[in-house]
Amino acid sequence: MSPKSLRLVRAVAAAITLTAAALSLAALSAAAHAASPPAPPNIVLILADDLGINDLACCGRTDHRTPHLDRLAAAGARFTAAYAPAPLCSASRAALLTGKHPARLHLTSFLPGRPDTPAQRLRQPVQEGQLPLEEITLAEALQPAGYTTACLGKWHLGGPGFEPAAQGFQMAAAGQPDSTPSATEGSKGEMGLAARAETFIATHRDRPFFLFLAHDSPHIPFAATEESRARHAGAFNPTYAAVIESLDASVGRVLDALESHGLTERTIVVFTSDNGGLHVPELGLDPPTHNTPYRGGKGSLHDGGLRVPLIVRWPGTTRPGSVRAEPVVLTDLMPTLMQAAGLDPSRASGPLDGVSLLPLLRPDATTSADTKAGPVDADRPLFWHFPHYSNQGGRPSGALREGRWKLTEDYESGTTRLYDVVDDPAEATDRSADHPDIATTMKTRLAAWREQVGAQRNRPNPEFSAAAAMTIDQTDVNRPPAPTTAAALGQAWAAWRTAMDAATAGRQPRVTPSRGDIRLHARDARTHGSKLRYEPEPWKNTLGYWVEVGDWAEWDVTVPAAGRYEIEILQGCGAGQGGSEVDLTIAGESLRFTVRETGHFQNFIAITLGEVTLPAGPATLTLRPHRKAHAAVMDVRRIVLRPLP
């Protein structure tokens, strides 16, 4: 058993919220011989890939057929203002599975990302090349509660050493992203995944299970049989409509499997998508969909790139056919599902950026017309940070939604725009001049949030060429003409697509490698002094009790190759406790940094401290406080030494 798994198992008693804890000692004794408490609910989380907000019939799409998902929505709750944590897949999946902002994880785009090109005014930051193993996933958090866990389908969160098995999934099987369309199979391996899910459900029907069913559908490339395309001849994109129908049929098989084994009443089913629909031509295909009335699509922080379908069915809890209009984000799913399983999220995974949506799912929840439902505030701020250029025309930007207002910030120019996304879902009219106080406050709040989560920043691109950017800049794909057919739109944007693809030809993206960097973990440190120690609880996994300025820590390091290395530290610091100064020293070079307040000692953020030149061979890295500002210095979970090109 890995140290990470062992820490989770040891935390069972602390992590599980037992109803019996509220009983008196006498009542506990009397109940000792009573029947065991009911098992926690099974959880089936079905994730589509690039499915747009209005791609389902139950969401208003009239040219798509989705009877099984419509049935799921009729039996549960459908959210009309559900947002992806990021406009691209890997970042969104990481946030969904950890309950943390992509900006905090430094995983903010797809993997490996779009290369930098001369057509960009800004350089993109070097994002994490995988979901770090220090992060606790939903699968890891559920295991101590007795869940069997499985990941079937697309992972896209890291290669060797960072696969699902290393992140709490006891069973894992990849999907088949490109299959030959037939009468029984679509082009994205939908039915193969359904068959694996049926087997898993049948095998584990007698104990709680968590099934993460991550489809490759309807991500490009896709195809369909002639017969299937003919059935959807009137659709915006007939082939895409056929793929959606096949995806829906595979979901129907999973729902039928639960029903056949008598599991429907004790299973939570969640269906959603990792980001908005792809609205531009790509890989030689016409645009798969449009996100009307929302602006933009995949790769953009406009609502077309962020809004996703979200359906939750939990018999006995969700009101059949209910519709919730409160803005929510998929980062909320981890605390929601943990709480549904009887777990206290804060005691199993530490501070999370999402909030539990259970108050919105319960039958006695207030109506969606109300501004609040228990602790879920309809006006709570939702933040996004996307310091990247996307293959779909997205640019480095940030966004904040509060209530009816949404502020977007263009990182190239620093320009902000304010939209009333309730009355103006197309984000067509900038209301900054009408409401300057709101715009200014939201811009300040967005900037403060980036600091709070340790968001990576862009830098000017020394290779920028205005000539290289010209063809791309002249076409605004986030404001498409009124959709007629995918073929017509694809033809209109053909020159733009050619220029986008030509810009990256022969270039490679830059990500943090899964091999080559040196990762120093809190558990491996040697601590010195009277109080500093390693705290092994899974929600901590940190060097803590750093209350004495004379306490310090050191690590043995083996530098594989001489050269320049960037040093990053994962630190946390409670509210009002920031400001201590600490020296990091290795091979005779020192970097002094100021500890940043993060709101909680286990609310970790990654901070780049600087660069050092290291010789190859053994070395010792030390962390010593230079000055303690308040009661404690900080908590430290990880240090990374990253080789520079």
Helix axis angle, 67-75 to 238-260, nearest 10°: 50
The string of pLDDT tens digits covering residues 612-624 is 999 999 999 999 9
The string of pLDDT tens digits covering residues 475-494 is 899 987 777 899 999 999 99
Residue 12 pLDDT class (50, 70, 90 cuts): very low
The string of pLDDT tens digits covering residues 291-348 is 999 999 999 999 999 999 999 999 999 999 999 999 999 999 999 999 999 999 888 7
**Across all residues in the chain, what is the average pLDDT?**
91
Task: Average the pLDDT over 270-274 and give the result.
Answer: 98
Question: Does the structure show a pLDDT above 60 at 147?
Answer: yes
Question: Does the structure show a pLDDT above 90 at 363?
Answer: no
Q: Residue 274: what pLDDT? A: 98
Identify the CA nearest to 438 among candidates 399, 405, 397, 409: 405
In this structure, what is the dihedral angle of CA atoms 568, 573, 576, 577, given to the nearest 10 degrees? -90
Rounded to whole angstroms, how far apart are CA atoms 192 and 179?
10
Helix (H), strand (E) at residue 173: strand 171-173
**350 or 206: whose pLDDT is higher?**
206
Residue 227 CB coordination number (10 Å): 10
Q: How far from chain centre, in Å, is Cα 256?
A: 29
Q: Residue 373: what pLDDT? A: 32
Place of tokens 């709040």: 445
- Residue-wise burial string across 431-460, b where 16 or more C-beta atoms lie within 10 A, e elsewhere: bbeeeeebbeebbeebeebbebbbbbebee
The amino acid sitting at 501 is D
Question: Does the structure show a pLDDT above 50 at 31?
Answer: no
Q: Residue 630: what pLDDT? A: 97
Q: Residue 577: what pLDDT? A: 96
What is the bridge-based pairing of β-strands 600-614 and 563-573?
A: antiparallel
The residues annotated with a catalytic role in the active site are 89, 156
Question: Does the structure show a pLDDT above 50 at 32?
Answer: no
Structure tokens at 44: 């089936």
Question: Does the structure show a pLDDT above 90 at 13?
Answer: no
Structural domains of the chain sorted by starting position, each given as residue range(s) with its CATH number in brackets: 3-111+127-314+334-354 (3.40.720.10), 397-458 (3.30.1120.10), 518-643 (2.60.120.260)
Q: Residue 8: what pLDDT? A: 52
Residue 5 pLDDT class (50, 70, 90 cuts): low
Portion of the chain with pLDDT greater than 90, in percent: 85
- CA dist 446 to 136, 355, 441, 496, Å? 26, 19, 9, 31
pTM metric for this prediction: 0.92
Alpha helices in 120-159 (DSSP H): 138-142
Residue 375 pLDDT class (50, 70, 90 cuts): low
In DSSP terms, 209 is beta-bridged to: 148
Identify the CA nearest to 168 among candidates 206, 133, 127: 133
Question: Does the structure show a pLDDT above 80 at 27?
Answer: no
Residue 185 pLDDT class (50, 70, 90 cuts): confident
In DSSP terms, 644 is beta-bridged to: none
Q: Residue 38: what pLDDT? A: 78
Winning range, highest mean pLDDT, from 2-11, 343-352, 420-429: 420-429
Rounded to whole angstroms, how far apart are CA atoms 502 and 515?
30
